[in-house]
Amino acid sequence: MSTAGQVIRCKAAVAWESGKPLSIEEVEVAPPQKNEVRIKILFTSLCHTDVYFWDAKGQNPLFPRILGHEAGGIVESVGEGVTDLEPGDHVLPIFTGECKECAHCLSEESNMCDLLRINTDRGEMIHDGKSRFSINGKPIYHFLGTSTFSEYTVVHVGQVAKINPEAPLDKVCVLSCGMSTGSGLVPLNVAKPKKGQSVAIFGLGAVGLAAAEGARVSGASRIIGVDLNPSRFEQAKKFGVTEFVNPKDHDKPVQEVIVEMTGGGVDRSVECTGSIQAMISAFECVHDGWGVAVLVGVPNKDDAFKTHPVNLLNERTLKGTFFGNYKPRTDIPAVVEKYMNKELELDKFITHSVPFSEINKAFELMLAGEGLRCMIRMDA
């Protein structure tokens, strides 16, 4: 493209300080350096993690910053050493990476790349420790190596999944985070419930409902949704949730409620909130002997998981998972094909849409607990 090798000036939504509305600014986006790709973002969506680090409570604040990590776009140019992508490719930038060389990437059991695993504190590119974004010469920090709340962004090639150009980017972009995390979590890679088993889902946001959908497809007989927001319960039925528990409605810990409901505990549980108490409850509500609890949510940096060791000795299993155990470059293109083949539903997760100029509306919707994913149209 004619802009290759040049600084691009474009619009970006900049978070100048924690908890304050994003500001649409003109930013300069430098050309990609070694092993980097510059992408024209067409669609991006708001994930709870963006809100979490925008609010910056319980995390290390880093501002000014361009947030965003769930998106789809087209490669504008590539840097030195990039051989498997070229301008015009349709891609999903991913908040974690796959260098294809480290022990984790070479293992069939892990997607925790040594070089490119998630780092929420890093605000610069790995190659030279510098930002590719600036305003009047002042650097603006990156977020998760993606920073998709910008019309153009620069991403390490290991964090870019090349996908079918026929796939609608305004749908499949949600696979770059939440829907892959949830859909890979239950049926395929981690919890692996057997047909007829029971599953408890803690948190009925987009990731939790993707997990519920996966449990339904796997043949779970009971899917118990746990959430503090009762307005989510009706919508959750569409994703296979059969029963609902609001911890505020009970005078005992919710894990005890679920154990009583199920005659000993659920076979599998999934925690999707980031609340340390929800994590403990998710573990303590699974059945002894065979129950498996899987943690997905991002906790505060100072949180500590506390439970009695006998809960482990009684053969309950506690697992963590990361991005549904998918390797970004290797696995995500195939997940996109599942959508193209109508084996995976995504459309019902996208409940709102706003133009880029109204990106703060997406934050308002999420903070109010309304909807699941709000699609942000970069060209509007």
* Catalytic-role residue among 48, 132, 232, 268: 48
- Is 329 one of the catalytic residues? no
Give catalytic status of residue 48 as yes or no.
yes
Using the predicted structure, report yes or no on whether residue 278 has a pLDDT greater than 60: yes
pLDDT for the residue numbered 301? 80
Of 38, 65, 104, 117, which is the active-site residue?
117
CA distance linking residue 37 with residue 328, whole number of Å: 15
Query: What is the pLDDT averaged over residues 208-214?
Result: 89
Higher pLDDT: 187 or 350? It is: 350
Residue closest to 22 by CA, chosen among 62, 52, 61, 67: 67
Residues 224, 31: Cα–Cα separation, whole Å? 49
69 classed as catalytic: yes
pLDDT exceeds cutoff 90 at 371: no
The total of other beta-carbon atoms located within 10 Å of residue 16's CB is 13
**Ramachandran quadrant class, 189 (left: phi over 0; alpha: psi -120 to 50; beta: rest):** alpha
Q: How far is CA 201 from the centre of its chain?
A: 16
Has residue 316 got a pLDDT over 70? yes
Whether 10 is catalytic is: no
Query: Each residue of 186-206: pLDDT tens digit?
Result: 544 577 888 999 999 999 998
pLDDT value at 185 more than 60: no
Beta bridge partners of 40: 74, 152
Q: Out of 173, 177, 272, 285, which one is annotated catalytic?
A: 177
Residue 51 is classified by DSSP as H
Q: Which contiguous run of DSSP H or E holds residue 245?
A: strand 243-245
Report helix, strand or coil for 254: helix
**pLDDT for the residue 31:** 98
pLDDT of residue 306: 96
State the pLDDT at residue 189: 59
State the catalytic residue, choosing from 25, 44, 47, 272.
47
Which one of 284, 329, 373, 374 is the catalytic residue?
A: 373
Is 272 a known active-site residue?
no
Question: Which of these is catalytic: 25, 36, 65, 69?
Answer: 69
Q: Looking at 105, 173, 272, 285, which residue is catalytic?
A: 105
pLDDT at position 380 is 64
pLDDT digits (tens, 9 = 90+) for 95-113: 999 999 999 999 998 999 9
Q: Which amino acid is at 214?
A: G
Q: What is the pLDDT of residue 59?
A: 74
pLDDT greater than 60 at residue 163: yes
Segment among 13-22, 210-219, 266-275, 323-332 with least mean pLDDT: 210-219
Active site residue 177: yes
Ranges 82-96, 202-216, 240-254, 271-285: which has the least confidence? 202-216
Q: Which of 25, 36, 49, 181 is catalytic?
A: 49
Active-site residue, selected from the candidate residues 25, 99, 148, 316: 99
Q: pLDDT (tens digit, 9 = 90+) per residue, 17-59?
A: 999 999 999 999 999 999 999 999 999 999 988 998 999 876 7
* Of 25, 113, 142, 316, catalytic: 113
Known active-site residue 49: yes
Residue 187: predicted pLDDT: 43
183 band by pLDDT with thresholds 50, 70 and 90: low
Terminal CA-CA length for the chain? 22
Average pLDDT of the chain to the nearest whole number: 93
Q: What angle do CA 251, 252, 253 make, to 5 degrees?
A: 135
Give mean pLDDT, residues 299-323: 92
The question of whether 102 is a catalytic residue gets the answer yes
pTM exceeding the 0.85 threshold for the entire prediction: yes
